[in-house]
């Protein structure tokens, strides 16, 4: 694994609009991006910038089959959902995780930043659902 930058921390929420108000009014976030739907992942997403650090990715369920429904059933107020680390090459990273016996969830697919991502099961990652994301070109 070629560990890159911590890109974002995924936070599930039952309401992105309530979560935006929290990050703006309580946490003092000044750069909150426009929310958008990611139908292929079954989520609505909103990125909140933190000063010179990883973003917060707010995630709300989108559609009846959203994978976030299960998380919110266990955590009705929402909460930390995943960590996302960048790698230079997504397919190399995927092959390495598989070679180490880690449970990779699905094929690499386009994520919220428009680059390829995959998830690794928390049972193989110290209890953390982990998103691996190819570093956007030009970064």
Can you give the binding site for Co ion, defined by CB under 5 A? 10, 57, 84, 131
Query: CB of 45: closest distance to Co ion in angstroms?
Result: 8
Nearer to Co ion, 68 or 84 (CB): 84
User: How would you list the strands of the sheet with 104-110, edge to edge?
Assistant: 36-38, 43-48, 55-61, 6-12, 79-87, 130-134, 116-120, 104-110
Nearer to Co ion, 6 or 21 (CB): 6
Query: CB of 123: closest distance to Co ion in angstroms?
Result: 19
What percent helix, strand, coil does the chain show, rounded to 5?
25, 35, 40
Nearer to Co ion, 1 or 6 (CB): 6
Query: CB of 138: closest distance to Co ion in angstroms?
Result: 20
Q: Which residues are catalytic?
A: 131
């Amino acid at each position: 694994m070629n560990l890159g930058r911590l890109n974002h921390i995924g936070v599930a929420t039952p309401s992105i609009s309530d979560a935006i108000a929290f990050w703006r009014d309580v946490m003092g976030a000044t750069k909150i991006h426009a929310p958008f739907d990611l139908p292929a992942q079954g989520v609505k997403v909103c990125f909140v910038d933190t000063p010179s650090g990883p973003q917060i990715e707010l995630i709300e369920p989108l559609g009846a089959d959203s994978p976030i429904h299960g998380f919110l059933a266990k955590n009705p107020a929402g909460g930390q959902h995943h960590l996302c680390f960048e790698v230079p090459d997504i397919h190399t990273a995927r092959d390495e995780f598989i070679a180490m016996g880690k449970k990779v969830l699905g094929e690499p697919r386009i994520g919220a930043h428009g680059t390829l991502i995959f998830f690794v099961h928390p049972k193989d990652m110290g209890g953390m659902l982990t998103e691996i994301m190819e570093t956007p070109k030009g970064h």
